[in-house]
Amino acid sequence: MAYVTSDITVSADGFGAGPNQALEHPLGEGGEQLHRWMFETPDENAAEVAAITAADAFIMGRNMFGSGRGDWDPAWTGWWGDDPPYHKPVFVLTHHPREDVPMQGGTTFSFVTGGIHEALKRAQDASGDGRIAVAGGPGTINQFLTAGLIDELRVHVAPVVLGGGERLFDRVPPGRLSQVSGRSASLVTHIVYRAVR
């Protein structure tokens, strides 16, 4: 079986994105403050940043891939430019079929219309039962958490109150977690959980 991880940065009040996500603010209003720790203090957090993209395959929701809805704009190839930071197969959850989009550097975006279990199966096949990262957004991570499919959840808590938006753990059923480790840097506290099954 593949080992499934997920990284997400949340505000002190638990939001993985602020309110009113749109093309001009893809992380919602105020959401860009979530990632100050990555951009302002990369040296303090080099290991945690590297771990986010250290997987053999990735799964993400359509909302993380782009702000569009409905039929695809074939010109849209993600937020990340010609050489996205994944360098591996990326499976995008969508209701709208689309041909694979190969990018520079080894990233290929494939589009999965059958839901999270199909995406996981395809990521497992692509990764050779290696490491799979559920890259987000919060709604997609919550679906995987609810289905009990995340082995290791790495929560990065940023010192900001967003007051609204998309919550990590929204509608995830109650249960105990195992806290594996945690530490604080200047602009973030990292907490690693494993699910208790």
Positions that interact with a copy of itself (CB under 8 A): 12-14, 18, 30, 33, 155, 157, 159-164, 167-169, 172-179, 181-184, 186-189, 191, 193
Alpha helix positions (H), 11-70:
36-40, 46-52, 62-65
Tokens of 154: 């790495």
Amino acid at 99: E
Give me the least distance between CB of 27 and a copy of itself, in Å please.
Answer: 13
In angstroms, what is the minimal distance from the CB of 188 to a copy of itself?
Answer: 8
Take residue 173 and report the two structure tokens written for it: 């059923």
CA distance 131 to 57: 7
What is the rounded CA–CA span in Å between residue 189 and residue 197? 25
Smallest separation, CB 139 to a copy of itself (Å) = 15
Nearer to a copy of itself, 46 or 161 (CB): 161
Minimal distance, residue 13 CB to a copy of itself, in Å: 4
Q: Could you tell me if 21 and 68 are in contact, meaning their C-beta atoms sit under 8 angstroms apart?
A: no
Name the β-bridge partners of 9.
156
Half-sphere exposure of 131 (CA within 13 A, CB side): 14
User: Between residues 2 and 157, which has the closer beta carbon with respect to a copy of itself?
Assistant: 157
How many Å apart are CA 102 and CA 90, to the nearest integer? 10
- Provide the 3-class DSSP secondary structure of residue 149: coil
Our CB check for a copy of itself shows the closer of 59 and 191 to be: 191
- Residue 171 is classified by DSSP as T
Between 95 and 171, CB nearer to a copy of itself: 171
- Indicate the residue among 19 and 26 with the shorter CB distance to a copy of itself: 19
Q: How far is the CB of 103 from a copy of itself (least distance, A)?
A: 34
Minimum Å distance from CB 115 to a copy of itself? 22
Is the CB of 54 or the CB of 180 nearer to a copy of itself? 180
Residue of 88, 107, 108 lying closest to 98 (CA atoms): 108
